[in-house]
A and B are shown apart, each in its own frame.
Chain A
Amino acid sequence: MNAAGILQIVIFFAVLTAGAIPLGAYMARVFTGERTWFDPVLKPIERLIYKICLIKPDQEQHWTVYAFSCLVFSVAGLLLIYAVMRLQAWLPLNPAEMSAVAPDLAFNTAVSFTTNTNWQNYGGESTMAYLTQMLGMTVKNFTSAATGMAVLVALVRGFARRQAKTVGNFYVDSVRSILYVLLPLAVLVTLALVWQGMPQNLDAYVEATTLEGAKQVIAQGPVASQVAIKHLGTNGGGFFNANSSHPFENPTALSNLIEIAGEVLISAGLVFAFGRMIGDRRQARALYLAMATMLAIGISVCYWAEAGGNPQLQAMGVDVASGDRAPGGNMEGKEVRLGIANSAIFAATTTGTSTGAVNAMHDSFMPLGGMVPMVNMMLGEVVFGGVGCGLHGMIVFVIVTVFIAGLMVGRTPEYLGKKMEAREVKLAVLCILIFPLSILGFSAVAMVLPVGLSSIAAPGPHGLSEVLYAYSSATGNNGSAFAGLSGNTTFYNTTLAAAMLIGRFLIIVPTLAIAGSLAAKKIVPPSVGTFPTHGSLFIGLLIAVIVVIGGLTFFPVLALGPIVEHFALGAGTLF
């Protein structure tokens, strides 16, 4: 660890906070239907979309109809992207002549992009045609992100409204998310990334002759337009196999900062938008501080573990000291232009949010360095989290926290003036239980079946980590991987797709049910017995609940994976 690395972490938080506050104010206006700067241009387009698609913007939906619309919209998109992949060989814009994607891989990928996971059992440049990347991946990056934002907005309305029957209109919330938030930001970020060197073309792959006379085929494509939304929408699916470690997908340290800030910006902004929409900005500040604290801890642990380097390499006399002339540390799977600190910030952020892009190979991280992204995903990705999903996941933890606080003082728990009763708490606990159930359940099955074991690349405890990481990533709708695991098999394509669907829709439906039930409640004015939810005591309690309730379930299996590997490596034991 060095001063330059720590300074880069501080800069990242400064850029994030400076961007999130105004963006939050703007998004609050978008979701409450107030006028924005973009209205003169976008309002006519918005109206036209409603007209063509037979959407009645003034018609609000009950939470059940809202959830149904969300599911139908997801299924329609899933079928379309599946069809595009299966038919790509016969469609235009396929200069590299990619053949049709195999059925199980196409199913896994379609589910993956629909659920905002973007787990990839394929290499983009060796599997997907340009048209598939555009019509399939790019479109799903927008729509799956918009779905997450819509669900959050519905939940926030649940808090803001009193004795209401409806929580908004799913289609309106999705269209406004895309048109007013995601698309303008994507245009801006695309141009910034191209300026930094990211390709944006429909050219054929370039054939070069290297200085030593060898042939080198260089993949091209409409990279920047997809990468921009891949980060803004916390999607994370790479245009290229190596994702954001690929120099075309992350050309400079500045593009790296744009990508990391981009993947947290909307999620962090939504926290501030939440504060404005419920009319109490102190609540937002508390949640923001809780999230930022947890992210800072994750980044620091990861940076410390990676900067230390591999003791085995040190023993060979390899220089792992960092300085102005060398990145040092554990450089396996990392890029020189980015170095250790940026790889650690990226790894913690991509898993604290549900992005899942990587700028370094997590499988080759030191045991404790790799445990940080794994733990982030197991905790439900609430450290800012996916756009929308992060905050609604956090609010679920808040409900559990006020419930536990209520038990301690013997009062009916309440949050933002809404009484938390048996129904809300049960639904919140259901959301939390989905994670261990899916992650540990599927991992256990994979660890006893030969079809599960045969895909593992690493020997010893690291092999368990690979499987555990895969199901954490799929359930958390993250998409990053310990990529040594060969996931493109029928077993993993199917079970990972199941985990992704469980992690997405078994969370969305109970969350919307909470929204509907809250919207119907009265708002009770705070009394002396109300537990304040904006102070440092609450922030501490919230973090403790997340770590204890969310994390404790996973401790035994983490002890068998990364923790034992760490101590074994320290003692010189190899596998």
Chain B
Amino acid sequence: MIKQILPAILLTLLLTVLLGLAYPLAMTGLAGTLFPRQAHGSLIEKNGQMVGSALIGQSFETPEYFHSRPSATTGADPADSTKTVPSPYNAANSMGSNASPSSKAYIESTQALVDQIKAENPDARGPVPVDLVTASGSGLDPHISPAAAEYQTPRVAKARHIPEGDLRALVAAHTEGRVFGILGESRVNVLKLNLALDERRPLAK
């Protein structure tokens, strides 16, 4: 009996060192050397200040910026740390809404979102693209669809006093196609687009 048990214990300990320390640490070293930007989270700095990550979405609420998708992430309630409150784009607590497609509450809140987005974008053309009224799986989706960017273009152009045609060109320049022309979907990185927008016409502060 003990002859069968001892190897199990020794192997567990040895593999813990090999696979739990040696392997991840070696990978950390190698990845940091080969792909230093990605390995540290694809961070973006502007004027020496950390503004976020190219892969992690941010919440935008003012009309001068393109808005990201709805986010269902939560954070600790500042008033009572045992409770959570909505905290969109909380990159330390990723989550989706997990809303049921047949729930009355979900359909009503989506209707409210549609109404709100229509009110915010009075000059938008066409119907509301679905990604603008649905929460992403992670709550941190960095992208919107080109259609969702197009939908917001008249509003941003007006708020920034940029001709709509110029803005449309800027969006087009920031639209990424499918990987190899096939995989995934075409998309616009909202943070990168908004950074370019600030570069183009800085906000008066």
Contact = CB atoms under 8 A, between A and B. Distances in A.
Given A216-B58, A327-B131, 13 more contacts: A199-B41, A200-B39, A201-B40, A206-B53, A211-B65, A252-B179, A318-B128, A319-B130, A326-B130, A332-B99, A364-B98, A366-B101, A482-B98
Interface in A351-393: 358-361, 363-367
A565 interface: yes
Interface in B1-36: 4-16, 19-21, 23-24, 27-28, 30-32, 34-35
Contact of B91 (A139, A217, A257): A217
B116 interface: no
Interface stretch (A36-44, A66-74, A425-433, A447-455): A66-74
Interface string A215-230: 0111110101110000
Given A218-B41, A253-B178, A332-B101, A138 B19 contact: yes
A526 interface: no
A317 B114 contact: yes
Contact of B15 (A68, A139, A210): A139
B64 to A, nearest CB: 9
5 contacts: A49-B11, A76-B11, A178-B15, A248-B56, A320-B130
Given A126-B93, A198-B38, A200-B31, A575 B103 contact: yes
Given A125-B92, A138-B23, A210 B182 contact: no
A575 B147 CA distance: 31
Contact of A226 (B4, B24, B90, B92): B24
Interface string A145-181: 0000000000000000000000000010011001000
Nearest to B185: A339
A483 B139 CA distance: 14
Contacts of A76: 8-9, 11-12
Interface stretch (A183-191, A268-276, A507-515): A183-191
Nearest to A317: B127
B102 A326 contact: no
Given A139-B15, A210-B52, A224-B31, A309 B130 contact: yes
Interface string A292-328: 0000000000000000011011001111100111111
A178 B20 CA distance: 13
Interface of A: 4, 7-8, 11, 49, 52-55, 65, 68-69, 72-73, 75-77, 80, 96, 123, 125-126, 134-136, 138-139, 142-143, 171, 174-175, 178, 183, 186-187, 190-191, 194-203, 205-212, 214, 216-220, 222, 224-226, 240-242, 245-248, 251-254, 256-257, 309-310, 312-313, 316-320, 323-339, 342, 358-361, 363-367, 457-463, 482-484, 565, 568-569, 573-575
B142 interface: yes
B121 interface: no
B7 A55 contact: yes
Contacts of A361: 96-98, 137
B96 A364 contact: yes
B35 A195 contact: yes
Contact of A319 (B8, B15, B54, B147): B147
B96 A245 contact: yes
B71 to A, nearest CB: 11
Contact of B8 (A69, A337, A358, A360): A69
Contact of B178 (A4, A53, A77, A366): A4
Contact of B60 (A212, A217, A323): A212
Q: Which of B99, B148, B183 has the most CB of A within 10 A?
A: B183
Contacts of B184: 252-254, 256, 337-339, 342
A208 B51 contact: yes
A195 B98 contact: no
B195 interface: yes
Contacts of B6: 54
Given A216-B89, A459-B104, A80 B10 contact: no
Interface in B136-175: 136-148, 150
A210 B20 contact: no
Interface residues of B, number: 104
A318 B114 contact: yes
Interface string B34-64: 1100111111000001111111111111100
A207 B127 CA distance: 37
B99 A325 contact: no
Nearest to A141: B19
B100 A191 contact: no
B198 interface: yes
Nearest to B177: A324
B11 A55 contact: yes
Contacts of A248: 41, 55-56
A306 to B, nearest CB: 10
B107 interface: yes
Contacts of A336: 69, 131, 136, 141, 143-145, 185, 187
Q: Which of B14, B111, B136 has the most CB of A within 10 A?
A: B136
A240 B186 contact: no
Contacts of B5: 72
A462 B185 contact: no
Contacts of A320: 130
Given A183-B23, A336-B136, A200 B12 contact: no
Given A194-B34, A200-B31, A123 B62 contact: no
Contacts of B97: 332-333, 361, 364
A237 B110 CA distance: 30
A191 B128 contact: no
A331 B142 CA distance: 15
Contacts of A200: 27-28, 31-32, 39
Contacts of B91: 216-219
Given A76-B8, A333-B98, A574-B104, A206 B43 contact: yes
A123 B95 contact: yes
Given A319-B126, A326-B147, A194 B39 contact: yes
Given A194-B39, A336-B185, A361-B96, A327 B19 contact: no
Given A135-B21, A139-B16, A254 B179 contact: yes
Contacts of A462: 100-103
B185 A327 contact: yes
B15 A575 contact: no
A73 B54 CA distance: 43
B187 to A, nearest CB: 5
B27 A224 contact: yes
